[in-house]
Amino acid sequence: MEVNIAAVKALLASPQDVVIFSHRNPDGDAVGSSLGLYHYLRSQGHQVKIILPSEYPDFLGFLPAVEDILIFDDFPEDSKEYIRRATLFFILDFNSFDRIDKVAEGLDKDNRPRIMIDHHLYPEPVADHMFSDPSASSTCEMVYQFIDDLGHAGWVTKDVADCLYTGILTDTGGFKYSTSPALFRTVAKLLEAGTDDYKVQDHIWNSMSEKQLRLLGHCLANRLEILPEYRTGIIYLTKEDYQHFDIRRGDTEGIVNYVLRMHNMMIAAFIHEQPTIVKMSLRSKGEMDVQQICKAHFRGGGHRNAAGGASFAPLGTTINKFKKLLPNYAAEIDAAYHEFNNK
C-alpha cells in the first residue's frame, strides 16, 4: 500500500474539524474503527463527529462515546451541517461511495482532504490518501497500524483499545479467520493498553435477546436447505418471518455462519426478503471466492470469504437463481474443498 504518511501527519499537525464516515448497516468493525479513531483524534486536539448512514446494532451500545455518533437517516440536517463545516474527512471500512449512498452527495467533487482506511477488495478512488490492505483482518487492525505509523502508539488508551478490539473480534469471528502473526501482536498491544478482553467478549458474544435466540432456532429447524453436492447450505427468511418474529436490523447478524459449522460445507448463504429488495450474505471457506459470485450476479462485493449483494427479484426467484448458479462453480467448490482438507 503506497501512502504518504508524512502528508497525513502534516494534515493532522493543526486542529481539524474531522468527520468520520462508515458504511450503512454498520457492524462491529465499522463502529469500532470509527470510535477508536474518534478517541485518538480527540486526544490530539481535533473536533470529531462520526456520521453513519443508518443505526448501529444494540450490542455495540457499550462502546465508549457511542452516544455521540450521528445517524444520517435520523438527523439529516444536523449531519449536513457537520459535513459542511468539516476540514478533513475519514472514510473507514468501506471503499466505494455507494456504501453510504446519499451521505456521499457531492463528496466526489469536494476538494477538502479525505483519508480512507479500509480492508475491502478493489478500492475505488474515494480519497486522496488511501490506506488499503485487503489482507488485514479488519479496519480496526489498520487503525491501530495507522496510529502507530503516526508515531502515536502511546496514545492508544483503554477507550481506543476497547473500540479497536471490538472490530477485530467481530470481523475475525473471534479469531476464527483472517488472523496473522501481526494481528496477534496488535492485539497484545491492545491488551497492554487496558482492554478488558473478557468483558468486551461478553458484550459481543453473549448479548442475544430471547427473540434472536428463538429466531436462530427457527432458521436452523425450518429455513435451512442443504445442497450436499455443492457443499452449500442456504438459510432464507420470508417477509412473514420478519413480521412473525418482529425482526429488526441486526437480529439476523451471524446466522449465516451456522451453516459452516456443518462438516464438509464450503458455502453458506443467507437470503432474506426486505421491504423493497432481497438481500443476501455469503460466507465460504478456504480458496472458495464468494466475493466474485456477489459481484458477478448480485450487484455486490466484499471479501473472498464474506460477501454480500442484493436482488430486486422476489425471494423464491432469487433463491432459484442462486441455486442455478452453483453448477457453474462446482469445480471451484470441489477444488477449494480438497485444497482446504489437504493442508
Residue 51 site contact among Mn ion, ligand 5GP, none (CB < 5 to 8 Å, cut-off depends on kind):
none
Task: Answer yes or no: are the C-beta atoms of 298 and 310 closer than 8 Å.
Answer: yes
**DSSP characters over 82-148:** HHHH-SEEEEES--SGGGSGGGGTTGGG--S-EEEEE--SS--S--SEEEE-TTSS-HHHHHHHHHH
Q: Is 249 helix (H, G, I), strand (E, B) or coil?
A: coil
Q: How far apart are CA 300 and CA 313, in angstroms?
A: 15
Q: Which is nearer to ligand 5GP, 186 or 291 (CB)?
A: 291
Residues 114-133: x where in contact with ligand 5GP by CB under 6 A, - otherwise, as a string: ------x-------------
Question: Which span sits near Mn ion by CB under 5 A: 79-87, 89-97, 266-274, 279-287?
Answer: 89-97
Q: How far apart are CA 55 and CA 45, in angstroms?
A: 27
Residues 166-185 within binding reach of ligand 5GP (CB under 6 A)? none
Residue 310 site contact among ligand 5GP, Mn ion, none (CB < 5 to 8 Å, cut-off depends on kind):
ligand 5GP
Q: Which is nearer to ligand 5GP, 12 or 127 (CB)?
A: 127
Number of residue whose CB is nearest ligand 5GP:
308
Q: Which is nearer to ligand 5GP, 163 or 306 (CB)?
A: 306
Q: How far apart are CA 93 and CA 146, in angstroms?
A: 14
* Choice from 29, 141, 162, 273 touching Mn ion (CB under 5 A): 29
Q: Which is nearer to ligand 5GP, 169 or 306 (CB)?
A: 306
User: CA angle, 50 as apex, 257 and 273 as ends, to 5°?
Assistant: 35
DSSP assigned state of 288: -
- CA–CA distances in Å: residue 83 to residues 51, 91, 154, 338: 9, 13, 30, 50
Residues 301-330 within binding reach of ligand 5GP (CB under 6 A)? 301-303, 306-310
Question: Which span sits near ligand 5GP by CB under 6 A: 45-53, 108-116, 190-198, 299-307?
Answer: 299-307
Residue ranges that bind ligand 5GP, judged by CB under 6 A:
120, 281, 300-303, 306-310
